[in-house]
Amino acid sequence: MVNSSAVVLAVATAGIFLAHAEGFSPLALSSSSPPTSSSALYLEGRGDYYGESGSSFVIREFGTYDQLEGIVELTGRPLPERPDGIVCVAKYSSAVDPACVKTEAQYERLARDNPSTCFLRCFREYEDGDLLMGQAGVTAFPTFDVFYGGNRVARITGSSSSTELEKILGMYQLQNSSLDLFSESADNSKRLEWG
C-alpha cells in the first residue's frame, strides 16, 4: 500500500518541477500573471472560438522546444503510483487554420476526461513558432505527439484524429493507476493538513 502523504508530496513536487521547467518560479505560482505581449507564450486571442490560446487551465501551453523537452522529461519520471511516469500529449496547432480550430473542443474534452494525462498545446503563431515546429518535425496541422516514459510513442496528424488519439491514450493509461493529477478538482482532493 502506498502512503497517501508520499503521493501528495510526489504530486506537489512534480507540480513544482513542471512549473520550474516552464520558467515559472515555484514561489510565485499563485501570483503569476498571464503572459505579456513581450513573452514568447503570448498570443492575442480573438475571443471568438473555444480553445484559443490561454482559454484553458487544463491544457498547458509551451512555446519552445526546450520547454517541451523539459516537460516530457518530467512526466517520464517515476511517481509512487506510476513507476513509468505519466502520459503526455503535445498538440501542435494553428489559431487561424480551420482544421485546427475544429479540433480544439475535442482536445479540451479529452483533457477533461483524462485527468491522469498531461495535455500540452503550442500554436504556430507564437513567437519562434516556426522554429519550434521545425525542431519537432511538424509538417501538417494539427499534429499530436504522445509521450510515455520520456519517449514519443505515437504521432497522429489531421483533424479527424481524436478517435485514434483516444485509442492510444487508452493503451498507455491502462499501464497507469487512476491517480488524478491534472483535473479541475485535483488540488482539493490531495491537500495536506498543515496543522
Report whether pLDDT(162) > 70. Answer: yes
Q: For the whole prediction, is pTM greater than 0.95?
A: no
pLDDT tens track for 118-153: 999 999 999 999 999 999 999 999 999 999 999 999
Q: Which residue has the higher pLDDT, 69 or 44?
A: 69
- CA 55/CA 103 separation, integer angstroms: 14
In the structure, what pLDDT confidence band is assigned to residue 160 with cuts at 50, 70 and 90? confident
165, pLDDT greater than 60: yes
- Window from 32-46, 61-75, 129-143, 146-160 with minimum mean pLDDT: 32-46
